[in-house]
Amino acid sequence: MVTWAVRFCVSIALACVSLHATGTSAQSPGSSRAEARRAIEEGVRAYAELDFPLCVQTMRGVLALSGLSDPDRLEALEYLGSALVVLEREEAARDAFTRMLALDPYHVVREPTGSPKISRFVAELRAEQVPDAALDPRVALELQLPARAQVGEDVVARVDASRVSDDAAEITTVTLFVREPEASGFAASETERQGGGRFEVTLSPRDVGELAIYAEGRDDEGRVVARAAEPLAPRVLSVEAEAVTPRKSKWWVGVIVGVVVVGAAAAVAVTLSRRERIAPGTLPPGRVQLP
Amino acid sequence: MILALLGVILASGCSPERSVFVQLISPGIGDSLCVAAYGAGQEVFREVYPADREAGSLVFLEGDLVVDEVRVIARSRQAGRVVAGAAGTADFAAPGESILRLDLARCVPGDGVASAARLITNVPRGGRLHAVDADGDGQDELLAGSRLFEPADGSTIALMSVLGDALTIVDDNDDCRDDIVTQNVIADLVTDRPTAITLEPGAVVVRANAGDGARLYTGSASGFGPLGGSINAAPVTALVAGDLDGDGDDELIASGPAGIAAWRGTAGGPSREDAILPAAIRGEPHRLAIADVDGDGSLDVVALGNDELKLLLNRGDGFLELRPTATVPGLTAVGRLIAGDVDGDCLADVVVVQDVTARIFLSTGTTWVEGDLGDASASEVTLADVDGDGAKELVAWRPNGDVVSW
């Protein structure tokens, strides 16, 4: 149970943060972000400890901070709205969640208790305000990307759609959204269905940096059913500079290549015969050729 | 230069093949033996064998990618639960054949409980804490609520919120990788699509082979039975499974408001046999955990009821005896009860969470000695092999979200 003293201290701390953030004295963006994160974590902790009034107070303080990033604003709004639902302050909760949906209309609230009341509240509000939202928790999208990419080399992005029951929504199209380094927005790329719930699209990174990526699955009515990552919490793919592999068109390269091929064939023949002479183990398959 | 290149190629083709000969020695327990190998940062081999073989071998041949070393993990499983294991790494350093011997054992001795906990990461509190070897590499990942993460650096692997809260972790499809069982889903995180199931809210789940095949058993307000079936209608709030008599079939013990009941595994499936349990505790509800407390190789049961921790020692023949000298009173408001070797002596210890504080009772074989965890703040606890050395460490999820291990 949080005592009145702790609430007092938290309130004062937030007031100091607000005043400092709006003052004219120099403050680095990094320190503002850190203060916002600390305050959000205080609010999340209050929520976890069932101190919903303190959570409301704390998150309102966070939202008053200048320079608050959109991801932080989203998190503050979803906890604020959830706490207000618990406290049965429906109008205020509607306002908080409406502001949250304005940032990301398809965001799934990450409220940790999984409260059906809060889920229902958000779902009803979303149905009023986002006509093409039909999010189904029984549907999952999984985005598969390589660990990194190179400029000039194509990258295949895969999205796997799965349903936990036959009456769950079916995804018929998947769109990949990609934001290039230095770009302000996401560009959409339609994927191709490969069968078995898999969708693919080929990306061609042009610049070194980080690509921000998320995927959106829609049903045959064009409604958004599920996402993998989000615009405010995207997956990141690092793009590195193209590797330098100079080609030397000297006459002796052809000879060396030919020699290598011949030599490799001879080596393979030698290796095969030698492998056959290595006694296998007693468990199938006996011998395992590693890659 | 061309001649030199030819020389190198021919020399490499003629050099002795490098290989690792892996010799497996198994205690022959469980119903399957899983063998997996890793090299160059990826899984390079996986196979499941019958568990009745007590010895076997495999030869791994050096490849183009896997040229330095290969790590081999072998585990015996009973109905998807790990009952014995071993792991080792062999180098391809020397020309010719290296030998790696793996003796599968029920327990790997550890280093003991650390004096202070190590911070792994911070996850906002909500839900249960589980150890999950989702990729089957012998090292556990951690599932805190809906977040699956690597214990080495706390990096998030996946957010599992779509699945709901995990009820139990077990290899349900016998592919040697742990799956997550929730109220509505069995999820294999590596290969399969989720399997839809329907469990009642608050259900308890175990996977067992009570003689008629491995399957999930559930207990709830509606009673106890295999998934989709019923054996007994009395409400159940705690459920454990294990081969108490060493015949290869699991016994099942279920507890609810009406008391505790037991079923012995037989060729025809579970058969009611309350005589497995001491009469003194049958009429009371208890929380349950199953583990080898006295290190004799047979499973014992730890029961928490009437605010007392009780030890039911296996006589060696599948019948349990209450040991009054090992009773610990005063355990009110216990939120979590787990049993397993924490101090590395291969005697299963008990950890309870009481009023957001973890308390550890170290087994001496016949009784308990309460241990000191230092800062023992905890809302959830589990045992997980976070460093891949084969021994489990105690992991706690504190009220402030910190996930720590000892």
Q: The domain spanning residue A143 has which CATH number?
A: 2.60.40.730
Q: d(Cα A87, Cα A106) in Å, to the nearest integer?
A: 24
Rg (CA), chain A: 27
Q: Are residues A35 and A125 in the same domain?
A: yes
Whether A215 has a pLDDT exceeding 90, the answer reads yes
| Last residue within a domain, chosen from A201, A216, A240 | A240
Please indicate whether residue A35 or residue B206 has the higher confidence score (pLDDT): B206
Contact between B57 and A283 using a beta-carbon 8 Å cutoff: yes
Inter-chain touch B127–A49, beta carbons under 8 Å: no
CA distance B209 to B207: 7
Alpha-carbon gap: A26 to the closest alpha carbon of chain B (Å): 31
Give B168 to chain A, closest Cα distance, Å.
18
The H or E element that residue B336 is part of is strand B334-340
State whether B17 and A271 contact (CB < 8 Å). yes
| A280 part of contact set with chain B, CB < 8 Å | yes
Residues of B with Cβ-Cβ distance to A108 under 8 angstroms = 161
Q: Are B246 and B256 in contact (CB under 8 A)?
A: no
Please report which helix (H) or strand (E) contains residue A82, including its range.
helix A70-86
> Taking the CB of residue B28, how many other CB atoms lie within 10 A of it?
16
Shared-domain flag, residues A95 and A76: yes
Contact B401 A48 (CB under 8 A): yes
Closest CA relative to residue A74, chosen from A232, A184, A228? A232
In a domain, A246, yes or no: no
Asked, for residue A1, whether it belongs to a domain, the answer is no
E strands present in B174-316: 179-182, 185-187, 195-196, 204-209, 214-220, 223-226, 238-242, 251-256, 259-266, 269-272, 287-291, 300-305, 308-314
Evaluate whether residue A206 is within a structural domain.
yes
CA-to-CA distance for A202 and A10, rounded, in angstroms? 49
Number of domains composing chain A:
2
* CB spacing of B13 vs A165 below 8 angstroms: no
A287 touching chain B per CB within 8 A: yes
How far apart are the C-alpha atoms of B124 and A277, rounded to whole Å?
A: 58
Sheet with B259-266, strands from edge to edge, namely B238-242, B251-256, B259-266, B269-272
Residue of B nearest to A111 (CA): B126
Q: Report whether pLDDT(A10) > 60.
A: no
Which of A66-80, A244-258, B44-58, B329-343 is the least confident region?
A244-258
Please indicate, yes or no, if residue A11 is contained in any of the structural domains: no
Which stretch of A92-101, A258-267, B325-334 has the lowest confidence by average pLDDT?
A258-267
Q: Are residues A117 and A143 in the same domain?
A: no
CB contact under 8 A, B61 and A45: no
Q: Please, which residues 155-184 of chain A have a Cβ atom closer than 8 Å to chain B?
A: 162-166
pLDDT at B9: 41
Based on the fold, state whether residues A146 and A110 are members of the same structural domain. no
Instruction: Please give the residue range of the domain that contains residue A199.
Output: 139-240
- For the ranges A76-80, A277-281, B53-57, the maximum mean pLDDT occurs at A76-80
Same domain membership, residue A125 and residue A86: yes
Residue A98 located in a structural domain: yes
Indicate the average pLDDT of chain A.
Answer: 78
Q: What is the pLDDT of residue B190?
A: 74
In which residue are the tokens 């400092």 written? A20
Cα separations in angstroms, B354 against B179, B331, B378, B381: 29, 7, 9, 11
Cβ distance of A114 and B399 shorter than 8 Å: no
**Averaged over A110-114, what is the pLDDT?**
74
Residue after which a domain boundary falls, among A101, A129, A157: A129
Residue A255's pLDDT band, with cuts at 50, 70 and 90, is: very low
d(CA A85, CA A200): 40
Q: Is residue A91 part of a domain?
A: yes
Tell me the nearest-neighbour CA distance from B327 into chain A, angstroms. 32
Same domain, A46 and A123: yes
Work out the burial of residue B215: count CB atoms within 10 Å of its CB; fewer than 13 is exposed, 13-18 middle, 19 or more buried: middle
CB B133 within 8 A of CB B124: no
List CB contacts (< 8 A) between B13 and chain A.
263, 266-271
Best mutation target, B14, B57, B58, B69, to test chain A (most A CBs within 10 A):
B58
Question: At residue B318, what are phi and psi to the nearest 5 degrees?
Answer: 95, 5
A101: helix, coil or strand? helix
List the single residue in A with minimal CA-CA distance to B44.
A290
Q: What is the pLDDT of residues B173-228, one digit of tens each?
A: 888 899 999 988 888 877 656 788 888 888 999 999 999 999 999 999 999 999 98
Same domain, A168 and A118: no
The answer to whether position A119 is within a domain reads yes
Q: What is the pTM of this model?
A: 0.60
Residue B81 to chain A, least CA–CA distance (Å) = 22
Same domain, A118 and A176: no
Position B192 scores a pLDDT of 57
Which positions 139-158 of A are in contact with B (Cβ < 8 Å)?
A: 139-140
Hey, are the CB atoms on A289 and B63 less than 8 Å from each other? Answer: yes
Query: Pairing between strand B19-25 and B97-103?
Result: parallel
Residues of chain B with confidence (pLDDT) below 50:
1-14
Specify the 3-state DSSP secondary structure of B191: coil
In angstroms, the separation between the Cα of residue A168 and the nearest Cα of chain B is 11
Where does the pLDDT of residue A246 fall: very low under 50, low under 70, confident under 90, or very high at 90 and above? very low
Q: How many CB pairs under 8 A join A and B?
A: 135
Arithmetic mean of pLDDT, A115-122: 87
Q: Six-digit token pair at B258?
A: 């009406």
Q: Are B196 and B187 in contact (CB under 8 A)?
A: no
Separation between Cα atoms, residue B326 and residue B168, nearest integer Å: 28
| A254: contact with B, CB 8 A cutoff | no
Q: A103 and A176, same structural domain?
A: no
Q: Are A224 and A106 in contact (CB under 8 A)?
A: yes
Closest-CA residue to A115 (of B399, B126, B158): B126
Contacts of A291 in chain B (CB under 8 A): 39-40, 44, 63-66
Among B17, B23, B26, B59, which would you mutate to test the A interface (most chain A Cβ atoms within 10 Å of its Cβ)? B59
Q: Name the residue among A209, A216, A265, A243 with its Cα closest to residue A105.
A: A216
B380, B99 Cβ separation under 8 angstroms? no
Bond before A137 cis per omega within 30 degrees:
no
CA distance B363 to B344: 11
**Residue among A48, A166, A267 minimizing CB distance to B126:** A48
Note whether A60 and A124 are same-domain residues. Answer: yes
Bridge partners (DSSP) listed for residue B204: B219
pLDDT on residue A2: 33
Question: HEC profile for chain A?
Answer: CCCHHHHHHHHHHHHHHHHHHHCCCCCCHHHHHHHHHHHHHHHHHHHHCCCHHHHHHHHHHHHCCCCCCHHHHHHHHHHHHHHHHHCCCHHHHHHHHHHHHHHCCCCCCCCCCCCHHHHHHHHHHHHHHCCCECCCCCEEEEEECCCEEECCCCEEEEEEEEECCCCCCCCCEEEEEEECCCCCCCEEEECEEEECCEEEEEECCCCCEEEEEEEEEECCCCCEEEEECECCECEEEEEECCCCCCCCCCHHHHHHHHHHHHHHHHHHHHHHHHHHHCCCCCCCCCEEECC
The answer to whether A271 faces chain B, any CB pair under 8 Å, is yes
Indicate whether A38 and A119 sit together in one domain. Answer: yes
Backbone dihedral angles phi then psi of residue B251, each to the nearest 5 degrees? -95, 155
> Quick one: A95 and A165 in the same domain?
no
A255 domain residue, yes or no: no
Query: Which residues of chain A does B121 touch, with a Cβ-Cβ cutoff of 8 Å?
Result: none
Domain termination site, one of A96, A129, A162 = A129
Q: What was the ipTM of the complex prediction?
A: 0.78
Contacts B2 to A, Cβ<8 Å: 252, 255-256, 259
- Mark yes or no for CB contact B60/A252 under 8 Å: no
Residues 6+ apart with CB under 8 A from A21: A27, A32, A35, A65, A66, A67
Beta bridge partners of B20: B60, B98
CATH number, position A65: 1.25.40.10
pLDDT digit string, tens, across residues A125-177: 999 999 899 998 888 888 888 878 888 888 899 998 988 778 888 999 999 99
Report the pLDDT value the prediction gives residue A30, as an integer from 0 to 100.
Answer: 57
**Residues whose CB falls within 8 Å of the CB of residue A269, separated by 6 or more in sequence, listed in order:** B13
Distance between CA atoms of residues A75 and A93, nearest Å: 14
pLDDT computed for residue A28 by the predictor: 52
The minimum CA-CA distance between B236 and chain A, rounded to whole Å, is 24
Contact at CB, B5 and A256, closer than 8 angstroms: yes
Mutual angle of helices A4-22 and A52-63, in 10-degree steps = 10
pLDDT value, residue B208: 96
Check CB contact under 8 Å for A290 and B58: no
